[in-house]
């Protein structure tokens, strides 16, 4: 399997090369030259694999279609090491539970940091350690988080041989629980940097460093954000697992609703659908930062600056530049790399927007690719949290509530709607108390986490400053 850049760079690379690289040299994102196609017979085989051998075995089957530069036995062992009941709490790993008629929730938040990011990050940590050991090299991971990616990455990488983590986050904009999860880690290979700004400022710093090819090579810079193809690929697996649990035959379709800010999680659904998974709709649910909803409604992609990025009660989606969106637009444009490079380079840099509303391809976002969208507000998520608790006895987190609210607007008769759970409610306790009047359940291992000592550096949103900090701590 060869991988190409969305912006047309001439190089073609194998999986393990892009695993450690992040962005392509031209600033584009990596995608496979083509998506492997899954036949009905193969999907039937995978039903049996998941039900009889479990999630790890299903992960191997899917990942092996994209990874041919890791020996099959080694890849199988890495999947088995990652997806265990001991780590994820249930034998199904991603169990499906019914919320109401037609609506199901896929539980993705049973991992070490109680968020869906663990599903990919735990595998990524093991892949990094494997490949770095094989090469005898080291890697300095530089990432940005709005809350969940950072803790998932740090818990996955802590103590890993040959890996350091430099994680930026918007200063004061994560929940107290999210901050405590990250900043209480004292491992020598973990560095937390709180940036004075919003998530997009952090993400811009990551891209600036990744685009400085000399610095990137000198200090062995990689990324765990969903711009890293390996992370997105790992997420494809739970779409197949959700489908298998919700259906009994390949004649059936399902839809997925995905709370989304950076477009990584739902982009994995796009990949699964392109492989042949019978998905009717991919429903993008946003919060008040509705850049993606605006695009799918109007064809206009308009990024916002820091001042126009709202601080909300579903903070992991407080994002106004959806990095992974470029992957989908590349497919939408018939893989026209030159046009993709223009849209996400000069046009966004100059005008802060691009407009596809008059282009015939825009309609294909819905008709060919199944995308629809909706928006949820603070009042909506409070109402949804109360409703799910009162009527169904289920407490859901704020982001999942956004998903449920928007999912209900796109139900189709006879087609199960699967809402991807984002996190456990304890990560956003303040809003749960506002909605329900009591604290959500807290796993015992996180008792008193907010009171633990914290280690974090506060820094301005300045790429040169962060490069100096990385260089100083890579000795």
Q: Say if residues 407 and 103 touch (Cβ distance below 8 Å).
A: yes
Catalytic residue among 117, 207, 216, 467: 117
Q: What are phi and psi of 283, to 5 degrees?
A: -100, 115
Contacts of 165 (CB under 8 A, 6+ apart): 141, 143, 153, 154, 157, 158, 189, 190, 191, 224
d(CA 226, CA 223): 8
- Whole-structure pTM value: 0.93
263, burial (CB in 10 Å: exposed 0-12, middle 13-18, buried 19+): buried
Determine the pLDDT at residue 279: 98
Structural tokens at position 408: 């209900």
Are 106 and 419 a contacting pair, CB within 8 Å? yes
Q: What 3-state class would DSSP assign to 257?
A: strand
d(CA 190, CA 184): 10
Cα–Cα distance for residue pair 246/160, rounded to 1 Å: 36
Pairing of strands 163-170, 190-196: parallel
Residue 87, classed as helix, strand or coil, is helix
User: Is residue 323 exposed (0-12), middle (13-18) or buried (19+ Cβ within 10 Å)?
Assistant: buried
Q: What's the DSSP call for residue 445?
A: G
Query: If residue 183 lies in a helix (H) or strand (E), which one and from where to where?
Result: helix 176-183
Domain borders along the chain are 96-113+229-436
Show pLDDT as tens, one digit a residue, over the chain (475 residues). 999 999 999 999 999 999 988 789 999 999 999 999 999 999 999 999 999 999 999 999 999 999 999 999 999 999 999 999 999 999 999 999 999 999 999 999 999 999 999 999 999 999 999 999 999 999 999 999 887 888 999 999 998 888 999 999 999 988 889 899 999 999 999 999 999 999 889 989 998 998 898 999 899 998 887 889 999 999 999 999 999 999 999 999 999 999 999 999 999 999 999 999 999 999 999 999 999 999 999 999 999 988 889 999 998 898 898 989 999 999 999 999 999 999 999 999 999 999 999 999 999 999 999 999 999 999 999 999 999 999 999 999 999 999 999 999 999 999 999 999 999 999 999 999 999 999 999 888 888 999 999 999 999 999 999 999 999 998 6
Domain spanning 96-113+229-436, CATH class: alpha beta
Q: Is 106 helix (H, G, I), strand (E, B) or coil?
A: strand
Q: Are 283 and 255 in contact (CB under 8 A)?
A: yes
pLDDT of res. 211: 87
The verdict on whether 117 is a catalytic residue reads: yes
Q: 338 pairs with which residues across the strands?
A: none
**Residue 432 and residue 425: Cα distance in Å, rounded?**
7
pLDDT computed for residue 475 by the predictor: 64
Give the model's pLDDT for residue 252: 98
Side-chain half-sphere exposure of 194, counting CA atoms within 13 A:
14
Which tokens in the block code for residue 472? Answer: 């100083």
């Amino acid at each position: 399997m060869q991988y190409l850049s969305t912006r047309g760079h001439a190089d073609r690379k194998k999986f393990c090369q892009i695993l450690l690289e992040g962005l392509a040299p031209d600033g584009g994102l990596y995608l496979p030259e083509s998506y492997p196609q899954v036949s009905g017979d193969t999907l039937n085989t995978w039903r049996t694999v998941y039900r009889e051998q479990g999630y790890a075995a299903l992960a191997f089957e899917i990942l092996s279609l994209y990874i041919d530069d890791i020996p099959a036995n080694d890849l199988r062992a890495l999947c088995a090491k990652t997806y265990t009941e001991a780590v994820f709490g249930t034998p199904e790993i991603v169990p499906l539970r019914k919320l109401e008629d037609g609506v199901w929730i896929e539980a993705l938040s049973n991992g070490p940091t109680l968020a869906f990011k663990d599903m990919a990050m735990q595998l990524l940590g093991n892949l990094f350690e494997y490949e770095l050991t094989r090469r005898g090299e080291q890697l300095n991971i530089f990432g940005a988080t709005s809350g969940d990616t950072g803790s998932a990455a740090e818990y996955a990488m802590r103590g890993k041989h040959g890996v350091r983590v430099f994680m930026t986050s918007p200063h004061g904009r994560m929940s107290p629980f999210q901050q405590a999860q990250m900043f209480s880690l004292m491992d020598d290979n973990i560095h937390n940097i709180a940036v004075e700004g919003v998530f997009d400022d952090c993400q811009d710093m990551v891209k600036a460093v990744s685009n400085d090819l000399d610095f990137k090579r000198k200090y062995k810079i990689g990324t765990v954000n969903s711009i890293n193809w390996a992370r997105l690929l790992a997420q494809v697996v739970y779409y197949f697992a959700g489908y298998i649990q919700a259906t009994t035959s390949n004649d059936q379709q399902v839809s997925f609703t995905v709370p989304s800010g950076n477009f990584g999680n739902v982009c994995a659904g796009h990949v699964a659908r392109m492989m042949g998974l019978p998905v009717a709709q991919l429903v993008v649910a946003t919060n008040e930062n509705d850049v993606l909803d605006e695009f799918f409604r109007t064809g206009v992609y308009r990024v916002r600056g820091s001042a126009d990025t709202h601080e909300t009660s579903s903070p992991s989606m407080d994002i106004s530049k959806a990095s992974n969106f470029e992957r989908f637009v590349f497919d939408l444009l018939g893989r026209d790399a030159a046009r993709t490079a223009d849209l996400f380079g000069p046009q966004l840099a100059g005008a802060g927007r691009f407009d596809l509303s008059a282009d015939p391809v825009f309609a294909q976002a819905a008709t060919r690719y199944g995308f629809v969208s909706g928006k949820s507000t603070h009042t909506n998520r409070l109402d949804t949290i109360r409703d799910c608790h009162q009527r169904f006895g289920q407490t859901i987190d704020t982001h999942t509530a956004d998903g449920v609210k928007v999912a209900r607007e796109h139900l189709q008769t006879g087609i199960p709607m699967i809402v991807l759970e984002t996190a456990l409610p304890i990560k956003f306790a303040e809003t749960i108390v506002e909605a329900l009047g009591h604290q959500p359940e807290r796993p015992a291992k996180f008792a008193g986490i907010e009171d633990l000592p914290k280690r974090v550096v506060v820094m301005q949103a300045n790429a040169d400053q962060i490069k100096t900090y990385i260089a100083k701590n890579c000795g």
